[in-house]
Chain A
Amino acid sequence: MWVKIKNWLDIRIGSDSLVQTKVIEYRIPKNINIFYTLGFIAVIAYVIEAVTGILLLVYYIPHPDHAFRSVQEIMTRVPYGWLFREMHAVGSNLMITVILLHMIVVFLMGNYKQPRELTWLGGGLLLLFVIIFGLSGYLLPWTQLSYWSTTVVTSMPTAFPLIGEPIARILRGGDHVTATTLSRFFALHVAILPPIFLTLIGIHLFLINRTGISATPFGKADEEKRPMTEYKRKTHPDGNPYYPYFFRKQMLMMMAYFAVMFFFISFLPSLIFPEEANMPADPFKTPPEIRPAWYLLAPYQVLKLIPNKFFGITLQAVLIIVFLIWPFLDTYKEKNIMKRPVLRGLFLILLTLWLIFLFWGRTS
């Protein structure tokens, strides 16, 4: 029966040869490791967010008078509303974690080097957009936590002289976080960001496919010779076919991702929902400890530490720009990070600092 359907399809679109060339003959290096699946997991994480987000959209009302109550309804009265809401909330944090891990792996493998600079740039922009996704989504339940951490984060741009205040005002739609803020964050989160994000993912995936998967640095030395002078897609003629070898690695990681997500939902829901997340927003009462979400804690802590606000925010802006254009700055030929102690050390220091600031920001 399946054979008949396959034949029917093949006559019309040539599916057999399509599968043969794109899936079976797509060769993956033999010694590819499990961390190379993280990009795929990030896409899966995004799909989960999109699907659960659309489901939440069916019942959510984006107005300050109704937002909190509609989320309450979803959590208590709509059947399985709690399931999709918790998947969305836990999933957003997991997605950002996966993207950060993916970025670290790509960096350590040196896979941002020529000819993959644009892929890295696209990925960096994706990370920034994901953080804006998180920021805009955080406000939507209109809880004490949402309202006040949004107030804090939208005040951060005021550190820029002259343009800082206008930026903050445009973000908030005024001087305070109000219904205007909620409307524009909702529009951002639901209508403006998704198409931009999907386009970036599309470009990112196209670039990966077009340049070819890079050679793993810890295997045979079939490294591309740099600098390259003409286009040559990197192939692995003696590698394993994508299906089933890499496909099953991806499936394994996907199962692990879901298992971790449901572990958090079952046993640690209060991690994502501290007490302030269950109280409706009150513009006249600031709860005692207000902080941005964990992925913004390190920049927040740095801003608090550096006595000069403008210097603080400029330093971070510079770091972000350096991060985005790193492949253009690091054109050293050696890809293997084990042979580059200075870069290794620098990376470790920055990562440790980021973690220190994150935990510091949590406790202060």
Chain B
Amino acid sequence: MRYHVFALMMIFLLPTVATAGYKEEFEKEFLTKTWAGQQIEENLCISCHSSDTMKPEFRVITDAWQSSWHAQNNISCEHCHGGDPKDASLSMSPHRGFVGSPQPKEVPEFCGKCHIGILSHFMESGHGKALAASQKAPNCVTCHGAHNIQKATIDIINEQLCTKCHAYERAKVMKQALFLTEKKFAELDKRLQELKREGIYSDEEEKGLFNIQAEFRTLFHTVDVNLVKERTDGVTAKLDKLDADIKAMFRELNFRKNFSAFLMLVFSGMGIIILVLCCFHED
């Protein structure tokens, strides 16, 4: 009986070895093949602009974009510049909405295609009015960069940047007005990430935080310190409510840990008693 089995195995193994080579030739390693499901979309903008035949100053653009917050959220070239990322002949065609790079005065409207709320506040602000009147004024790119755009933080307001046009004093006042609120945002975000790691899903709270933060930052673009100070209380109140919710979640986490630790101890206790009862009274 045993020999039959061994014989069968041999017969099975031989074609294995024989077809070994065939397999490799006609099929890519399944490990290097794109996983079923992951769709890697070809973006022609990036393919051309990162190739060796491209001017170096254009080549750095794709790298800069790659490490940006836009890239992480799947916003690529065509979303801002238009054009067709899949068709080479139409990739820079006005028929596909290609607008090229904007002039400094056109930058706010360029970014404002998506960031609508910020655009309207910016145009009303001192900065926006100065830009409309002359060329010597900041636009979005001045503070945020063009392609390597990161998540906004309060440190975008700094001495180097703001003193290009005027004294740092007024920027400092604004930064101070924002400081505490921004700190609170950062803290709440950190705590939400902590909760997520522990398995408590806090989608609603995350969205709530984003909402409050977006509102606050949109407001900042008016560069009106008084307005910001006026609204800060309202924002802080909302943040405090969110904070209370988050604290409640941490308390819930604590309760869970205690409850399961309690169960663990009870079971261990029962185990020990059974052990004593059964094994230390052997007659």
| Residues of chain A having any CB pair with chain B under 8 Å | 72, 75-76, 82-83, 86, 147-148, 151-152, 154-156, 158-159, 161, 172, 175-177, 244-245, 248-249, 251-252, 255-256, 258-259, 262-263, 265-267, 269-270, 273, 275, 278, 283-286, 304, 307-311, 314, 318, 321, 325, 328-329, 331
Contacts and interface: CB of A to CB of B under 8 A. Distances in A.
Given A155-B30, A258-B267, A266-B257, A310 B2 contact: no
A326 B203 CA distance: 52
Interface string B243-283: 00000000000001101110110011011001101100000
B38 A284 contact: yes
Given A255-B270, A311-B20, A283 B5 contact: no
Contacts of A325: 5
Given A275-B197, A309-B23, A311-B20, 20 more contacts: A72-B201, A83-B260, A148-B35, A154-B36, A248-B274, A249-B278, A255-B268, A255-B271, A256-B271, A258-B264, A259-B271, A266-B264, A278-B196, A283-B39, A286-B38, A304-B31, A310-B23, A314-B13, A314-B16, A325-B5
Closest 8 CB pairs of A and B: A255-B271, A262-B264, A176-B37, A258-B267, A248-B278, A266-B260, A72-B201, A259-B267
Contacts, number: 126
B40 to A, nearest CB: 9
Contacts of B263: 258, 262
B31 to A, nearest CB: 6
A284 B31 CA distance: 17
6 contacts: A161-B19, A255-B267, A258-B264, A269-B199, A309-B23, A328-B5
Contacts of A318: 9, 12-13
B35 A152 contact: yes
B274 A286 contact: no
A62 to B, nearest CB: 19
B23 A308 contact: yes
B271 A309 contact: no
Interface of B: 1-2, 5, 9, 12-13, 16-17, 19-20, 22-24, 29-31, 35-39, 74, 196-201, 203, 256-257, 259-261, 263-264, 267-268, 270-271, 274-275, 277-278
Given A75-B199, A263-B264, A328-B2, A252 B20 contact: no
A155 B34 CA distance: 11
Given A159-B30, A255-B271, A262-B267, A270 B197 contact: yes
A248 B277 contact: yes
Contacts of B39: 283-284
Contact of A151 (B36, B200, B271, B278): B36
A329 B2 contact: yes
A304 B261 CA distance: 40
Give the one of B196, B260, B268 with max A CB within 10 A: B260
A155 B274 contact: no
A176 B37 CA distance: 5
Contacts of A262: 260-261, 263-264, 267
Nearest to A331: B2
B261 to A, nearest CB: 4
A158 B30 contact: yes
B30 A75 contact: no
A309 B197 contact: no
B200 A75 contact: yes
Contacts of B197: 270, 275, 278
A172 to B, nearest CB: 7
A278 B201 CA distance: 8
B1 A328 contact: yes
A114 to B, nearest CB: 13
Nearest to A150: B37
B101 to A, nearest CB: 28
A329 B267 CA distance: 42
Contacts of B270: 255
Most buried by B among A158, A177, A255: A255
A331 B5 CA distance: 14
A310 B19 contact: yes
Contacts of B268: 255, 259
Contact of B16 (A148, A249, A259, A310): A310
B272 to A, nearest CB: 8
Contacts of A283: 37-39
B129 to A, nearest CB: 42
A277 to B, nearest CB: 8
Contact of B17 (A251, A263, A311, A321): A311
Nearest to A277: B199
Contacts of B261: 262, 266-267
Contact of A177 (B1, B37, B74): B37
A275 B30 CA distance: 26
Contact of B278 (A161, A252, A269, A321): A252
B18 to A, nearest CB: 10
B23 A161 contact: yes
A329 B277 contact: no
A252 to B, nearest CB: 5
A24 B63 CA distance: 77
Contacts of A263: 264
Contacts of B274: 248, 251-252, 255
Contact of B36 (A159, A172, A270, A284): A172
Contacts of A249: 278
Nearest to A325: B5
Contact of A278 (B16, B19, B199, B277): B199
Nearest to A152: B35
A309 B30 contact: yes
A308 B38 CA distance: 24
Given A259-B268, A314-B16, A155 B260 contact: no
